[in-house]
Amino acid sequence: MAELILTGLSKAYRGGPAAVVDFSLSVRDGERVVLLGPSGCGKTTLLRLIAGLEKPDAGQVHIGGRRVDGSPPHRRGVAMLFQESALYPHLTVEDNLGFGLRLAGVNRQERRRRAREAAEWLGLTDLLSRRPGTLSGGEAQRVALGRALARRPEVLLLDEPLSHLDAPLREELIEELLRLHARAHTTMLLVTHDRREALALGQRIALQRDGRLVQVGAPADLLAQPTCLFVAEFLGLPRANIRAGRLAMDDGAGFFSCPEGRLPLSAPRAGCRDGREVILAVPPQRITPADGGEGTVPARFIESREHGGEGTWKIEAFGSTWLMRAPGGPAPAPGERLFVTFQPDSAFFFDASTGSAVSIRELGG
């Protein structure tokens, strides 16, 4: 185990945009951090820079207090697991588990001991004599993971290890990774573009966009305090309801005004700057059923939906559609009228021009 420190890493490929831009991140000794972002944002390039498979244009990589960005891959104390298991088809599971140790010159007895230890950790003991062609996708990926762990790396890098597995196998391997980390305490940096995987696996999540680190923190902190619209949109489960509009004042009361209608703002936001253009993001869980009366909004039920395993209702209000979390119980009939409450205290506001989060103090500025 070791601390991983990235300082100002940058990498650009000839003829293309920069893949990684001034990227700095610290992963604590034994910590499990997920690097999350859309496809093509530079996540895999960052892992390759750490592993020594690519040379940075600028910046430094420290592992366990040693600067390693000038060292060859085999001297960095890093193991990397790729999307595909890349097992050797002519070797048994046991020989695949020990293959990296063989290249490192570890004697046969020690190779066997470490291979069997990794097999025990990952539930592969009964498969040691089999060959990759007889394994399921989940089993093959566990063997690849065991091969990386058998080397006892200081840092384990995982590049989209679940992306090619079906949903049940993904859930199974997520649990396997959590159990493994609890047992081995290996420093892990895992790449994914899947928000659910990131929320399930990350002790902290680092969001990357266009090669840059956008925000890093515990999953609950990122969900509660996104620093920009990109984070709120990309990490939201289900996705937030996004509306562009402006702040308005009417008789001393503050409103968010958009073509669909007006939402009253809470008292701390009542002194908002009249006419400021903002983007409102309302998480579905902040729209709740109501019995009618002051502060409620008439709506019409459209349909039930599933988003990332969470039940939602699609409703119409203010002349447009919104998603709200299903409150439980039977859903209304399509077209049925209901009342809902929008909770502005739990909504997020972002500057329309920059996408940066706008604080309550700024709303009143």
Sheet holding 18-27, edge to edge: 18-27, 4-12, 58-63, 66-67
- CATH architecture classification, 4-226: 3-Layer(aba) Sandwich (3.40)
Q: Which two tokens stand for residue 310?
A: 């969470």
Distance CA 138, CA 142 (A): 6
pLDDT in the model for residue 365: 46
The predicted-structure confidence for 306-326, as pLDDT tens digits, reads as follows: 765 678 999 998 778 899 988
Ranges in the chain, pLDDT < 70: 1, 237-238, 252, 266-274, 307-309, 344-345, 359-365
To 5 degrees, how large is the angle CA 120–CA 122–CA 124? 65
DSSP state of 276: -
The answer to whether 54 touches 12, Cβ cutoff 8 Å, is no
pLDDT in the model for residue 167: 81
The residue ranges of every structural domain in the chain are: 4-226, 241-363
pTM: 0.85
pLDDT in the model for residue 362: 57
SS3 content of the chain, % helix, strand, coil (to 5): 30, 35, 35
Domain spanning 241-363: which CATH class is it, in words? mainly beta
The answer to whether 189 touches 47, Cβ cutoff 8 Å, is yes
Q: How many helices (H) and strands (E) does the chain have?
A: 10, 20
pLDDT in the model for residue 274: 63
pLDDT in the model for residue 123: 86
Distance CA 362, CA 365 (A): 5
Residue 166 neighbours by CB distance under 10 Å: 10
pLDDT in the model for residue 307: 63
